[in-house]
Chain A
């Protein structure tokens, strides 16, 4: 997808939060295992912080913009949720850059 190589434009930090063992976090765990290597290979200097904690709802936080905004989303119950969210984030960033 186009968003992978362009993540570090505009995005300063990405943070995954999920539980180590709960079923609600299983899609997030699978996404990280499949995609972390690719994201990191294309964006070596972008912090992709993966934090596991018991009892935590799966979350994705991204920090971007010159004045730092935080955007998060709960990710359970949606098919391929992280991939769709990151694509949405990329389009949102593109739109903001065109306006700004």
Chain B
């Protein structure tokens, strides 16, 4: 590579600050010129108007979104292989080719990273240019004639391919990237049929990035995608380029682990097998895997994932594109907790015997015991608790069942003593995750988005990088991967802002689109009514909520939280558990079991043998999120469905089916027998939960609420997520997450 001059890194401001365009692909203007006339602009212009037919439009590559600006002066026309396309100003040649339906090979270019231009694989021929141009770094000019399929372009790519393969090890049979390698695909399509290199190939020492990313740096082609991802998206300056010429290496400069919550994404963006998944090493080939598109449940973001399985085993989890929620990244917890789905699983119904040991029984016996106890307790002594990973169907069944038994005590973990469940705008991210990119000031109240919702944090960081948005934070001291201003640790700072006495008020006053994000950890405070009232006062004072912008947000913690609040699981946990005689825990593993009375009968229904099984009298096994169809609502109110990827373990059943069977045995039969029946019932209670992949806006604002008489306490906010890698039953069962906790958390 010493013969190539490094192109100056060219960063288009349009690329960086561009918000996600609307999904509809605008119509483009195209026509075809005869091939013979393509070389002559005068002849092409003469022939084009005489063409009577307009050919059908070509599909952009990979569903590329393009939105033509309304001002015609902001659009321009270029010719790609003789086809005319209209693109916005600021587009590069590569983007124009994508809109025209031509796939340009590339290694270093990535649509969500800045432009490096150092792999030279995207060389195309431009008329009147003496040499091929790197299309990813060349802005498209009006009337430019681009040729992508000429002998010059092919020869250029073949030469680049030869240089790249010169020092590349011929170890495709043992590489984990086999079958999904960009280098393999492009050498097949653009490379030569034989090599001419007869000297010694170079070797590079492998780096240690931690327990998640495996490095074979000899395969590295120095495209710098991982360097740009780490510094731009993940926000850690861990990776860089060392040396020059033939001695170039990608590494961490000093011996250091990559400590980002998004470090696993470098596995996806690496075009060769230099960075692969360490837990997945040598486990499977991608053609052996069955991919199932489903939804992540390890946090409240609801990232779109694809679960790759082989038979009954989940082999890996990779991200799926969703522009509005997670773009094409997922957090490391989402990606690597899959081995928790195979360990500590409950597979048989169990009853605790008189000697205190669990005994496996049939479903009939287990349900009969539970129903018998239900008949002995009073209705108001029954309590149902839904866990962090519960889906809306099972929570609906639990609520209906407990209500039918005559009790109101149905609640969800993490929603606090008096959750603000009346108005949807009080517990959702009303700006939407994609809408955060339009904000210019962020006020984070009692929330640390880096560990609570890594994808929302990536979106905030993207906004800070693109528009220099200001971030202010009220809470305990913590790490951020962007510039922020730490205003204070407790609610007194918020009261000062509400009363206008804080210096930050001028920043909020001058902001065009301010955003306030309150953490769901505030739900657990006794003064949460007064606290949210103060936040609403701040929002009203600085015009955060108006018809065209709603910047008042709550960042939830768990996948089940939004749906639980929609359905109305709002009982007080302390009062409910203190007086209960029958406690039904549906995947609820973080309930304070010390407060459960000694004579209470505890039923645990879940998929993992986590904390709560040790107190249970009856254990009912259920399916994990990768084994069932379920409805989940994320923190912005978008409803999504999970799809089963692998069969259920042992004799476990879906959560709502267990409750349906139990209701029949207990004599309070629920009226639905199928998943569609449960969803019909949900449509009567919270109809937004059946509008899949949609967000329902909220028009009733907090102004209809009565004044709050409660006073704000002076207790400082506290950290909600102590260990990013261990937040629920699945991650606590994962050995990979245990390794991450051991090596990455200590600093």
Point out residues on A near B: beta carbons under 8 Å. Answer: 12-13, 15, 17, 20-21, 29, 32-33, 36-38, 40-41, 45, 47-54, 56, 59, 61, 63, 66-68, 72
- Taking a contact as CB atoms under 8 Å apart, the answer to whether B687 and A13 are in contact is no
With CB as the reference atom, state the residue of chain B lying closest to A65.
B406
Find A37's partner among B379, B408, B421, B706 (CB 8 Å cutoff). Answer: B706
Q: Does B206 contact A (CB under 8 A)?
A: no
Q: Does B566 contact A (CB under 8 A)?
A: yes
Given A49-B422, A50-B423, A66-B379, the answer on whether A33 and B700 have CB atoms closer than 8 Å is yes
Which of B133-141, B215-223, B691-699 is the interface stretch? B691-699
- Taking a contact as CB atoms under 8 Å apart, the answer to whether B687 and A17 are in contact is yes
With CB as the reference atom, state the residue of chain A lying closest to B402.
A68
- Taking a contact as CB atoms under 8 Å apart, the answer to whether B421 and A51 are in contact is no
- Taking a contact as CB atoms under 8 Å apart, the answer to whether A51 and B424 are in contact is yes
Q: Does B705 contact A (CB under 8 A)?
A: yes
Q: Offer 28 A-B interface pairs, CB within 8 angstroms, sorted by A.
A: A13-B408, A15-B568, A15-B685, A17-B687, A29-B700, A33-B700, A33-B704, A38-B706, A40-B422, A40-B706, A45-B418, A47-B421, A49-B421, A49-B422, A49-B568, A50-B422, A51-B424, A51-B566, A51-B687, A51-B688, A52-B688, A52-B697, A53-B686, A53-B691, A54-B696, A66-B406, A67-B406, A72-B684
Residues of B within 8 A of A66 (CB): 379, 406
- Taking a contact as CB atoms under 8 Å apart, the answer to whether B687 and A47 are in contact is no
Q: Does B314 contact A (CB under 8 A)?
A: no
With CB as the reference atom, state the residue of chain B lying closest to A48.
B422
Q: Does B484 contact A (CB under 8 A)?
A: no
With CB as the reference atom, state the residue of chain B lying closest to A16.
B700
Q: Does B404 contact A (CB under 8 A)?
A: yes
Report the Cα distance A81→B399, complex, angstroms.
Answer: 28
Report the Cα distance A4→B421, complex, angstroms.
Answer: 20
Task: Provide the B380-410 mask, 1 if CB < 8 A to any CB of A, else 0.
Answer: 0000000000000000000000011010100
Find B697's partner among A20, A29, A40, A45 (CB 8 Å cutoff). Answer: A20
- Taking a contact as CB atoms under 8 Å apart, the answer to whether A20 and B403 are in contact is no
Given A37-B706, A41-B706, the answer on whether A52 and B696 have CB atoms closer than 8 Å is yes
Q: Does B458 contact A (CB under 8 A)?
A: no
- Taking a contact as CB atoms under 8 Å apart, the answer to whether A32 and B700 are in contact is yes
Report the Cα distance A90→B408, complex, angstroms.
Answer: 20
Q: Does B570 contact A (CB under 8 A)?
A: yes
Report the Cα distance A15→B408, complex, angstroms.
Answer: 15
With CB as the reference atom, state the residue of chain A lying closest to B690.
A53
With CB as the reference atom, state the residue of chain B lying closest to A66.
B406
Residues of A within 8 A of B705 (CB): 36-37, 40
With CB as the reference atom, state the residue of chain A lying closest to B379.
A66
Interface pairs A-B: 5 shortest CB-CB: A41-B706, A53-B687, A68-B403, A53-B688, A37-B706
Q: How far is the CB of B497 from chain A (nearest CB, A)?
A: 25
Find B408's partner among A12, A29, A52, A61 (CB 8 Å cutoff). Answer: A12
Report the Cα distance A59→B696, complex, angstroms.
Answer: 17
- Taking a contact as CB atoms under 8 Å apart, the answer to whether B706 and A52 are in contact is no
10 A-B pairs besides A15-B568, A56-B687 with CB distance below 8 A are: A13-B408, A20-B698, A40-B706, A41-B706, A45-B418, A50-B422, A51-B688, A52-B699, A53-B696, A54-B696
Main SS at interface, chain B: loop
- Taking a contact as CB atoms under 8 Å apart, the answer to whether A63 and B706 are in contact is no
Q: How far is the CB of A57 from chain B (nearest CB, A)?
A: 10
Report the Cα distance A17→B568, complex, angstroms.
Answer: 13
Given A66-B379, A67-B404, the answer on whether A50 and B700 have CB atoms closer than 8 Å is yes
Residues of A within 8 A of B566 (CB): 51
Find B704's partner among A15, A20, A37 (CB 8 Å cutoff). Answer: A37
Report the Cα distance A17→B696, complex, angstroms.
Answer: 13
Task: Provide the B411-426 mask, 1 if CB < 8 A to any CB of A, else 0.
Answer: 0000000100111100
Report the Cα distance A45→B566, complex, angstroms.
Answer: 17
Q: How far is the CB of B430 from chain A (nearest CB, A)?
A: 12
- Taking a contact as CB atoms under 8 Å apart, the answer to whether B687 and A50 are in contact is no
Report the Cα distance A50→B702, complex, angstroms.
Answer: 12
Report the Cα distance A49→B421, complex, angstroms.
Answer: 7
With CB as the reference atom, state the residue of chain B lying closest to A32.
B700
- Taking a contact as CB atoms under 8 Å apart, the answer to whether A51 and B404 are in contact is no
With CB as the reference atom, state the residue of chain B lying closest to A54.
B696
Q: How far is the CB of B596 from chain A (nearest CB, A)?
A: 23
- Taking a contact as CB atoms under 8 Å apart, the answer to whether B696 and A47 are in contact is no
Residue among A12, A49, A54, A67 having the largest count of chain B Cβ atoms under 10 Å: A49
Residues of B within 8 A of A52 (CB): 424, 688, 696-700
Residues of A within 8 A of B696 (CB): 20, 52-54
Residue among A17, A66, A68 having the largest count of chain B Cβ atoms under 10 Å: A68
Q: How far is the CB of A99 from chain B (nearest CB, A)?
A: 18
Report the Cα distance A39→B146, complex, angstroms.
Answer: 68
Report the Cα distance A29→B701, complex, angstroms.
Answer: 11
Task: Provide the B556-596 mask, 1 if CB < 8 A to any CB of A, else 0.
Answer: 00000000001010100000000000000000000000000
- Taking a contact as CB atoms under 8 Å apart, the answer to whether A63 and B424 are in contact is no
Residues of B within 8 A of A59 (CB): 684
Residues of A within 8 A of B698 (CB): 20, 52
Report the Cα distance A67→B380, complex, angstroms.
Answer: 11
Find B699's partner among A20, A45, A68 (CB 8 Å cutoff). Answer: A20
Residues of A within 8 A of B422 (CB): 36, 40, 47-50
Q: How far is the CB of B663 from chain A (nearest CB, A)?
A: 12
Report the Cα distance A20→B694, complex, angstroms.
Answer: 14
Residues of A within 8 A of B568 (CB): 13, 15, 47, 49
Residues of B within 8 A of A29 (CB): 699-700
Report the Cα distance A52→B699, complex, angstroms.
Answer: 8
With CB as the reference atom, state the residue of chain A lying closest to B566.
A51
Report the Cα distance A33→B698, complex, angstroms.
Answer: 13
Report the Cα distance A73→B406, complex, angstroms.
Answer: 23
Report the Cα distance A37→B700, complex, angstroms.
Answer: 12
Report the Cα distance A68→B406, complex, angstroms.
Answer: 6
Q: How far is the CB of B577 from chain A (nearest CB, A)?
A: 17
Residues of A within 8 A of B697 (CB): 20, 52
With CB as the reference atom, state the residue of chain B lying closest to A49.
B568
Report the Cα distance A67→B418, complex, angstroms.
Answer: 24
